[in-house]
Amino acid sequence: MGRGAAFFDLDKTVIAKSSALAFGRPFYRDGLITRRDVVKSAYAQLMFRLGGTDEQTMARTRDYLATLCKGWQVEQVRQIVAETLHELINPYVYAEAAALIEEHQAAGRDVVLVSASGEEMVRPIGELLGVTDVIATRMAVEDGRYSGEVEFYAAGPSKVDAVSQLATERGYDLGASYAYSDSYSDRPLLECVGHPTAVNPDRALRKLAVENSWPVLEFRYPIPLGRRLRERPAVPVAAAALGVGVGVAIGIAWYGRHRRTRATTATPTT
């Protein structure tokens, strides 16, 4: 029997927002996305919400993201993420999630972030948390630019494929492993380990957790890293126990709404 590992979904499980959404504003600022992209992405987000998390919907989302990112310079994306990480992500890491990650590490388990967001975003977030292993979406690159092809889309059953491969390489015992997620779309991930936990679950996942007697955690305290190191988590993980980054498309759709709201607020009245 091998040792167990702990697999964490990222958005709404470890951080209190969408990782891709968080970087939508600097991507717009630096010219990677346009107003037309905002409109198209708003439609893509609507289709995802209406269509759920079936394979066809996830495939459409994957293909749209590949087209959107085609031609972007990889180094520019990495630079944007590096420059804005502490402003856009650090304040939104759940204290309870950070404490839980530390508990697993102290118990000798490897911690792995598993997210549909791009590896260029997920890996720096992992480093912020002291996590070196990530499973994330990988875009194909040619001559330093995204080619418009997706090498690996870390969503749905594909997450389980990657987790299983990593378990084989590392000798993890999945029966002794843990998984955490907020989304019903991660049902395959949760079901592939011996210790699944729903965190801030959506309605469908909460129902599934109740039916299977899975633990349910509610994380409510995002605290910047500096404060966590000084004060430690204000609320213990045990006290929270009660029992999907679609991608850049969601982020830029949100930014479009945000700009319209600001424009309306700034309009002078007579």
Single out the catalytic residue among 11, 37, 110, 186: 11
Distance CA 190, CA 101 (A): 17
For 140, counting Cβ atoms within 10 Å of its Cβ (0-12 exposed, 13-18 middle, 19+ buried), the class is middle
Task: Order the strands of the 216-217 sheet from edge to edge.
Answer: 145-152, 133-142, 110-118, 5-9, 178-181, 195-199, 216-217
Catalytic residue among 9, 37, 110, 186: 9
Determine whether 146 is exposed, middle or buried from the number of CB atoms within 10 Å of its CB (0-12, 13-18, 19+).
buried
Reference 116, options 169, 165, 69, 157; nearest CA is 157
Q: How far out from the chain centre does Cα 160 lie? A: 15
Tell me whether residue 11 is one of the annotated catalytic residues: yes
Distance CA 190, CA 218 (A): 17
Among the listed residues 87, 68, 73, 72, the one whose alpha carbon sits nearest the alpha carbon of residue 25? 87
Short-list 104, 49, 218, CA closest to 113: 104
Rounded to 5°, the CA angle 102-108-113 comes to 55
Instruction: State both tokens at 29.
Output: 């600022």
Which residues are designated catalytic?
Answer: 9, 11
